[in-house]
Every structure is written in C-alpha cells, then in structure tokens.
C-alpha cells in the first residue's frame, strides 16, 4: 500500500463506515441513477412517448455502478468537462434502450441538488440515531450518580454543592436541544423537484406541449417517488443554499455542545474526580509514564472547533448566490457538507465511547468537598446559633474572623481547612458544638439535585428518546471502542 498522497483523516483515520459511505461517489452516482429512473417513470406515466417498459427495467437493473461504469464516466468527463453528462453517457451504455430518454427535460441540478437533499436527509437520520444513543448513555450516568454530592463551580471557583448526576443533566439538556435542532433541520428538508434550468419549468412545459397540469403532476410524482412529501414551491437553478445554512447551523451548534462537555470533562480529569476510559495498555505520554491524558475529550474539542466554523461556509456561500445561481458554491459544498456530517459522526462516536467508560473517584470528590465545605457551612452555623438565641451580627463577625484564620492556614501555610475545629474550640459556639457534624453533612447542601435529575429524565429525556427506542434496544448492551 502506497502512502504518497494526502488522505483526509476524517475518512482514513476517524470516520465510521456508514457516514463515509453515504458521501462516497458510489452512493452519490447511484442516487443520480435513481433520480433519472424516477423521472422516466413519471414521464411515462404522464404519456411521454418513447419511454418503454424495457427501458425502465434496464435502468432499474443498473442503479449500482460498477468499476466499468466509473471508468466510462471518467473517460467521458475528461473529454466533456461535465460530470453530469459524463454519467448520463455511462448510464446509457449499460441501459441502451433508455439512452435516448435519460435526463429528458432535466438540468444538471435535477440530479446534483435533489441528490444532495437525499444524502443530507439520510445523513441527519444517521446523526440523530447516534445522538440518541449518546443521550441515553449520559442519562444512565446521570441517574447512577444523581445522589453523589460534588463541588459546584462558578468561574471555576468552588461554589455550592451539586451532584455528579445533576451536573450531567446540564450536558444532556444541551444534547436534547441539538436533537431538536437536527430533527427540525431534517424535517424541513424538501425536494427541489423538476424545475428546469432556471426554475421556470420551461423545458417540461414544452415537453408536455403547454399542459401546466401535467408539469405540476410530474413535479409531484417525482417528489413522491424520491421519498419526499413535498417539493420547494419555487427555486432558481438550485435549491436555496439557505437550506445548507439551516443544516450546518444545527450541526455547528452541536459542535459547541460537545466542546463544552469535553472541556468540563478535561477539567474534571485534572481534578482527578472523573476520567474518560483509559485502557490497560494505553500510553498517556511518551516521556511521563504516569500520565493519563484525556485524549478522547481533547479530540472532541479539536474536531468540534472545526465543526463550529463550518457554518460560516454555508452562510457566506448563501450570501453570494447571484440571482438564479452561480457556480462558486460547488467546490465549497463538496468539502463543507461532507466534512460537517463526517466530523459530527466522529464526535458522536467519541462521546458514546467516553460516556460508556466514565471512571468516577468518589473519595477524591469527597476530599475536595471536605476542603471547601467548612466555608460553605458558615451560613448553616449562623442559622443554628440564631435558633439558640444568638445575635446574627455578632455570630457573623465571630465566624468571619475564624474563617479568615482558616483561609490563611490553607493558602499561606499549605495546611488543611481547620475551620470546624476552630469553631468547636471557640467558647462562643459552645451552644451548637454537638450539632456541627450534622451541619457538615454534604447531602444537606445539594438541595433538590437528585429530584431534579429524576424529573428531568422522566419528563424530558424519555419522551425525546421514544422515537429511537428500537435502535436503543439494539445497542442496549453493546459498547463502542475508539
């Protein structure tokens, strides 16, 4: 095997077989042939002469391209410099009885744009299935750790306690919004249909000798045969590139979600509270043998940044589509659209792998809580003293002084937080000395976090995943390796 040509790592290193195959030349040109078949079937049904049952059957028999088909198309494109006409020629060679009616009345965008819309819709279906699996895995994690107290962080500074499971619901909620956005983008995809060279259907009107009803019937019938419920009512030569904007915006938004999740996990790995999977023989560093680098999460962040910027391609391309169309969209879309889907698929695979192998270290989490909880418990201490008829303002001053002394010991001397011991020894706090241990119970600081997790999973996650129950059942016990 020679390695003297650049290969995209998206396909050669990371991409899964399904999504890579969807954007392959074999799939693309097979869809073109299906579209030519659908057009011929509809035109025959509507009375166009010269389209025989034999020609239709020949087309049906050669929807999948062989290596000879690709060679024939490549030779023709070399001469004609036109990929669509090259494939019309190659199709006609294997379906000679249909050669004279293939592409009848159509423009190139009949196959290129309608084909793209089919691929984009199928691609979103694949992403949605994988996203549902990721949400399911994260939800199981949230449920398992819904009661485990952990330090909350605001500004990446210790804050009031939450739970490990509750924090995971923040990730899941954004993933649910991505599920919604990708679903909307998929469901909003229409069909370009048979609209002719500039969208006026002039060629088809001529084909049907001025019969407007038959032109409309053709558009509707080809749309149905191609698996769409409706076609866009008006187009130029292409479908509006704003459709690409809607799709890539939803995909790029998922990129932002995945980057945030992976970043949180990288920070937690630094704290040694939660780690991504780390295999028995995995090497974290070529020099520092002890390291357990969060390389999966780092890869998610790396790819997610690429994903987020691809929306700009669609926005800028849409903005410069002059009048009925220009061709400066073509090369860009050949890169940005497949890369958006393949990159999303890779990120989803990584997130699934990470979520299926989370390693949680409760003892480390407990130690971090113990280091900070005495400061957080001061309000509880004040309330307890007030209940014993203490003066709130005096109590605040007493505990403020002790807190500053404890903070100095931690920050300047590198010692442990001994605030509670200082409170125990202080004569002022003698009335509540026996209550201090209970006032320091972490489970009393997590509010309704466990109940919020239960309600969120039941009321929001379960309904969202219901349409994917079949695929979730198939992968229920399976795990994915990257």
- The pLDDT, as a whole number, for residue 469 is 95
Of 361, 388, 412, at which residue does a domain stop? 361
Among candidate residues 12, 285, 319, 438, the one labeled active-site is: 285
For residue 148, name the pLDDT band (cuts at 50, 70, 90): very high
CB 86 within 8 Å of CB 102: no
Of 158-167, 223-232, 432-441, 446-455, the range with the lowest mean pLDDT is 432-441
Q: Rounded to whole angstroms, how far apart are CA atoms 384 and 478?
A: 51
Q: Poorest-confidence range of 140-154, 384-398, 452-466?
A: 384-398
Residues 99 and 126 in one domain: no
- Of the CA atoms within 13 Å of residue 384, those in its CB half-sphere come to 20
CATH number of the domain within which 62 lies? 1.10.275.10
Which pLDDT band, with edges at 50, 70 and 90, does 281 fall under?
low
| pLDDT score for 344 | 98
Q: Are residues 245 and 289 in the same domain?
A: yes
* Residue 336 forms part of a structural domain: yes
Confidence of residue 293 (pLDDT cuts 50, 70, 90): confident
**Is 463 part of a structural domain of the chain?**
no
Is residue 28 domain-shared with residue 82, that is, in the same domain? Answer: yes
Residue 475 is assigned to a structural domain of this protein: no
In a domain, 309, yes or no: yes
The pLDDT confidence band at residue 251, using thresholds 50, 70 and 90, is very high
Between 348 and 425, the more confident residue is 348
Q: Say whether both 94 and 237 belong to one domain.
A: no
Residue at a domain's end among 335, 361, 387? 361
Instruction: State residue 197's pLDDT score.
Output: 94
| Mean local confidence (pLDDT), 260-277 | 96
pLDDT number for residue 481: 74
Same domain, residue pair 243 and 392: no
- Per-residue confidence (pLDDT) for residue 349, from 0 to 100: 96
Contact 30, 64 (CB under 8 A): yes
Residue 125, pLDDT score: 98
Let me know whether 202 and 68 are in one domain.
Answer: no
CA distance 158 to 151: 6
Q: How many domains, in total, are found in the chain? A: 3
Whether 229 is a known active-site residue: answer no
**What pLDDT, on the 0 to 100 scale, is given for residue 416?**
87
Show the tokens assigned to 32: 């073109």
Give me the pLDDT at residue 334, please: 95
Give the range among 140-154, 179-193, 282-296, 359-373 with minimum mean pLDDT. 282-296
Given 17, 67, 155, 229, which residue is catalytic?
Answer: 155
Which residue in 187, 61, 39, 63 sits closest to 114, CA to CA?
39
The tokens 């061709």 sit on which residue? Answer: 327
pLDDT value for 377: 83
- Count Cβ atoms below 10 Å from residue 64 Cβ, excluding itself: 12
297 within some domain: yes
What is residue 151's three-state secondary structure? strand
pLDDT in the model for residue 110: 98
Mutual angle of helices 392-411 and 378-387, in 10-degree steps: 150
Is 37 in the same domain as 185?
A: no
Q: Is the pLDDT of residue 283 over 70?
A: no
- The pLDDT of 392-420, averaged and rounded, is 90
Average pLDDT for 156-167: 95
Q: Does any domain span residue 9?
A: no
Tens-place pLDDT, residues 459-472: 999 999 999 999 99
What proportion of the chain, given as a percentage, has pLDDT over 70?
Answer: 96
Same domain, 206 and 126: yes
Q: In the listed set 104, 127, 143, which residue is the last one of a domain according to the structure? A: 104
Q: Is the pLDDT of residue 284 over 90?
A: no
Q: What's the rounded Cα separation, in Å, for the pair 156 and 167? A: 14
Per-residue pLDDT at 389: 86
Helix ranges (H only) for 272-391 are 295-319, 330-355, 362-376, 378-387
On average, the pLDDT of the chain sits at 94
Q: Over the stretch 39-67, which tens digit does the pLDDT of each residue have? A: 999 999 999 999 999 999 999 999 999 99
Please tell me whether residues 146 and 67 are part of one structural domain.
no
Task: Please compute the mean of the pLDDT values over residues 259-271 and round it to a whole number.
Answer: 97
Q: Is the pLDDT of residue 448 over 90?
A: yes
Compute CA distances 436 → 406, 409, 422, whole Å. 16, 21, 11
pLDDT at 6 over 60: yes
Q: For residue 246, what is the domain's CATH number?
A: 1.20.200.10
My answer on whether 321 and 433 are in the same domain is no
Question: What is the Cα 343 distance to its own chain's centre?
Answer: 9
Question: Which domain CATH number covers 408?
Answer: 1.10.40
Q: Are residues 296 and 275 in the same domain?
A: yes
Task: Average the pLDDT over 77-93 and give the result.
Answer: 94
Annotation says 302 is catalytic: no
Domain-embedded: residue 394 = yes
Domain of 415, in residue numbers: 378-439
Q: Are 348 and 392 in a shared domain?
A: no
What is the model's pLDDT at position 435? 87
Q: How far apart are CA 97 and CA 115, in angstroms?
A: 24
Q: What is the mean pLDDT of residues 445-450?
A: 96
List, for residues 13-27, the tens digit of each pLDDT value.
Answer: 888 999 999 999 999
The reported pLDDT for the residue numbered 277 is 87
Looking at residue 379, its pLDDT comes to 82
- pTM of the predicted model, to two decimals? 0.92
Q: What are phi and psi of 475, to 5 degrees?
A: -100, 15
């Amino acid at each position: 095997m020679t390695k003297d040509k650049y290969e995209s790592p998206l396909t050669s290193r990371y991409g899964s077989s399904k999504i890579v195959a969807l954007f392959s030349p074999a799939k693309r040109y097979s869809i073109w042939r299906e579209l030519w078949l659908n057009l011929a079937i509809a035109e025959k049904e509507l009375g166009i002469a010269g389209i025989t049952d034999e020609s239709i059957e020949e087309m049906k028999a050669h929807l999948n391209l062989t290596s000879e088909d690709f060679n024939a198309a490549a030779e023709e494109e070399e001469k004609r410099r036109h990929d669509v006409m090259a494939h019309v020629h190659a199709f006609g060679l294997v379906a000679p009885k249909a050669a004279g009616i293939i592409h009848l009345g159509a423009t190139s965008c009949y196959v290129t744009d309608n084909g793209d819309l089919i691929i984009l819709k199928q691609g979103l279906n694949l992403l949605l299935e994988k996203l549902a699996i990721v949400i399911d895995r994260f939800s199981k994690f949230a449920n398992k750790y819904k009661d485990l107290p952990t330090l909350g962080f605001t500004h990446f500074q210790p804050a009031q306690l939450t739970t490990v499971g509750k924090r995971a619901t923040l990730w899941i909620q954004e993933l649910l919004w991505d599920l919604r956005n990708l679903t909307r983008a998929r469901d909003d995809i229409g069909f370009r249909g048979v609209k002719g060279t500039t969208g006026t259907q002039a060629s088809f009107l001529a084909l049907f000798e001025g019969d407007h009803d038959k032109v409309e019937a053709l558009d509707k019938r080809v749309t149905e045969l191609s698996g769409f419920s409706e076609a866009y009512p008006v187009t130029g030569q292409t479908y509006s590139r704003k459709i690409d904007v809607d799709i890539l915006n939803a995909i790029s938004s998922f990129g932002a979600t995945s980057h945030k999740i992976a970043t949180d996990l990288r920070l937690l790995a630094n704290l040694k509270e939660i780690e991504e999977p780390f295999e028995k023989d995995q090497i974290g560093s070529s020099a520092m043998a002890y390291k357990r680098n969060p390389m999966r999460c780092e890869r998610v962040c790396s790819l997610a940044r690429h994903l987020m910027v691809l929306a700009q391609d669609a926005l800028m391309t849409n903005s410069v589509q002059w009048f009925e169309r220009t061709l400066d969209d073509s090369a860009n879309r050949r890169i940005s659209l497949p890369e958006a889907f393949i990159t999303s698929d890779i990120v989803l695979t990584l997130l699934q792998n990470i979520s299926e192998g989370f390693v949680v270290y409760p003892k480390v989490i407990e130690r971090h809580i113990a280091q900070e909880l005495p400061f957080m418990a001061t309000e509880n201490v004040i309330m307890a003293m007030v209940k014993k008829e203490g003066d709130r303002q005096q109590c605040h001053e007493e505990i403020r002084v002790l807190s500053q002394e404890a903070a100095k010991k931690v920050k300047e001397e590198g010692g442990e937080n001994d605030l509670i011991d200082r409170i125990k020894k202080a004569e002022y706090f003698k009335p509540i000395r026996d209550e201090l241990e209970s006032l320091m119970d972490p489970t009393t600081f997590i509010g309704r976090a466990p109940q919020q997790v239960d309600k969120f999973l039941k009321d929001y996650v379960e309904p969202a995943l219901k349409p994917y129950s079949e695929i979730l059942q198939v992968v229920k016990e399976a795990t994915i390796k990257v």
